């Protein structure tokens, strides 16, 4: 494991997510200054994820062909332009243009995950990807709080600061981050790799093990995205919590996720099989979101959010790690790009679906719906992923766990 390169790309991800976290909570307020309705504001939030759905696999495959570093430079430059446009926005269409541009070029996380796969072996990959998740979480803990503070001087101020952070990141990548994809590995890549199409996604879903992981990515990602995107509205309607109280609760969830992904994931993967961790975490998430639906008080809510954060942190990391081990080295960027697209699709659907459930059926409906979806997914995972022959091959390549769940 190349620790210098590993920590370099993790720092790059942290700076990137810090900038993203600065502006994310302010978008609804920014849009309202231009007279946007709730529906239009939802479209604005979803536009980023919708464009990432298209852009992430394209950037992932390009990184397999041309290297991780140049594609990270292109991606971060697009982020810089998007934030700059957001800061100068004087109309609603400029807000949309900024989010569309940033979304299409925002495949940097999947490329960073591919970078981690290049510089780690299969034994240490889960730990490396977990540290990416921890950097992601820390950026989201600090960014929204800082963005809220800076917004008292105008919504453009956090956008310009985010653009400045993106510019710093460009410098870090250009002068500090070495290329991870060696010339030998790049020479082994196919001359032409297919871009993102519906056919490419369907073909990936048909693959015996990685396809099952992508299906799990979607049906876990949608309930989790519903929880994330409507939690503030849920907290306001059910418990009359304000922005400050909700922010503290989300920071608590973020801290738990950072602890799991940054410090515990390596220990877990050394003790337990990855397919068993996936199956176990889906069950825990289903129970947790059922508890979310039934929460009678804020204290109960805070308690039930602990297993939600822990299982979410485990699943996000283990799914990415297992995907990279289930495909050939030249396919890693492409499969992570497809995985990012699947996740983007869930984040494009979740605000509308979760809001509709909340508005039409009450505050408990999103939790019941999400728990039911995960209960069905639990059966699928235990039948299809747990104990799969390819999972056994992956275990054989990695260091065998001396104790833990066995099949």
The answer to whether the CB of 354 falls within 8 A of the CB of 232 is no
**What pLDDT is attached to residue 199?**
64
Q: What is the pLDDT along the chain (407 residues), one digit of tens a residue?
A: 556 677 778 787 787 777 777 776 677 778 878 888 767 777 787 788 788 877 877 887 788 888 888 998 998 899 899 999 999 999 999 999 999 998 888 767 778 878 887 877 767 777 777 777 777 777 767 877 777 778 788 888 888 998 998 898 888 888 888 887 766 666 655 554 544 455 666 677 777 788 889 999 999 999 998 887 778 778 878 988 765 677 678 778 878 888 887 778 878 888 888 888 999 999 999 999 999 999 999 999 999 999 998 898 898 888 888 888 887 777 777 777 778 778 878 887 887 788 788 878 888 999 999 999 999 999 999 988 887 777 666 666 655 444 444 44
**What pLDDT is attached to residue 406?**
41
**What pLDDT is attached to residue 302?**
92
Residue position matching structure tokens 């833990």: 404
Residue ranges and CATH numbers for the domains of the chain are 3-397 (1.20.1250.20)
Phi, psi of 103 (to 5 degrees): -65, -45
**The tokens of 234 are what?**
């849920």
Residue 218 to residues 113, 160, 212, 282, 344, Cα–Cα distance (Å): 18, 33, 10, 12, 9
d(CA 392, CA 395): 5
- Reported as a single tens digit per residue, the pLDDT across 9-19 is 878 778 777 77
DSSP code of residue 402:
S
What's the length of the chain? 407
- Reported as a single tens digit per residue, the pLDDT across 95-154 is 999 999 988 887 677 788 788 878 777 677 777 777 777 777 777 678 777 777 787 888
Is the entire prediction scored with pTM above 0.75?
no
Residues 194-197: contacts with CB under 8 Å, at least 24 apart: 194/61, 195/57, 195/58, 195/61, 196/54, 196/57, 196/58, 196/61, 196/337, 196/338, 196/341
**The tokens of 7 are what?**
């920590």
The answer to whether the CB of 10 falls within 8 A of the CB of 135 is yes
The answer to whether the CB of 338 falls within 8 A of the CB of 204 is yes
């Amino acid at each position: 494991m190349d620790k210098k390169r590993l920590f370099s790309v993790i720092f790059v991800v942290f700076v990137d997510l810090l900038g993203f976290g600065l502006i994310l909570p302010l978008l609804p307020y920014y849009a309202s200054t231009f007279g946007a309705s709730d529906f239009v504001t939802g479209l604005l939030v979803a536009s980023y994820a919708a464009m990432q759905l298209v852009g992430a696999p394209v950037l992932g495959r390009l990184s397999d062909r041309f290297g991780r570093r140049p594609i990270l430079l292109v991606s971060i430059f697009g982020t810089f332009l998007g934030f700059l446009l957001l800061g100068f926005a004087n109309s609603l269409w400029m807000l949309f243009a900024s989010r569309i541009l940033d979304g299409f070029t925002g495949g940097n996380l999947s490329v960073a995950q591919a970078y981690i796969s290049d510089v780690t072996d299969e034994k240490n990959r889960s730990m490396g990807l977990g540290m990416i998740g921890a950097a992601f979480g820390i950026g989201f803990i600090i960014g929204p709080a800082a963005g809220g503070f800076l917004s008292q001087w105008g919504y453009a101020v956090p956008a310009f600061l985010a653009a400045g952070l993106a510019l710093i990141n460009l410098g870090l990548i250009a002068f500090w981050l070495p290329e991870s994809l060696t010339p030998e590995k790049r020479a082994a890549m196919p001359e032409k790799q297919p871009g993102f199409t519906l056919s490419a996604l369907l073909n990936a879903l048909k693959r015996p093990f990685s396809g099952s992981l992508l299906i799990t990515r979607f049906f876990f990602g949608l309930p989790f995205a519903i929880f994330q995107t409507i939690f503030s509205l849920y907290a306001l309607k059910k418990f009359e919590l304000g922005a400050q109280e909700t922010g503290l609760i989300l920071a608590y969830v973020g801290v738990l996720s950072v602890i799991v992904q940054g410090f515990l994931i390596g220990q877990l993967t050394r003790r337990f099989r990855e397919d068993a961790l996936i199956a176990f975490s889906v069950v825990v998430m289903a129970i947790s979101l059922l508890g979310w639906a039934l929460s009678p008080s804020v204290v109960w809510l805070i308690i039930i959010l602990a297993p939600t954060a822990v299982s979410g942190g485990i699943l996000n990391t283990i799914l990415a790690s297992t995907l990279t081990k289930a495909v050939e080295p030249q396919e890693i960027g492409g499969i992570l790009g497809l995985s990012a697209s699947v996740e983007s699709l869930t984040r494009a659907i979740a605000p509308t679906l979760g809001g509709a459930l909340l508005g039409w059926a009450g505050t408990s409906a999103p939790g019941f719906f999400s728990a039911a979806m995960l209960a069905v997914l639990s059966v699928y995972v235990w039948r299809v992923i747990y104990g799969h022959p390819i999972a056994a091959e992956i275990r054989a390549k990695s260091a065998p766990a001396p104790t833990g769940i066995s099949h």
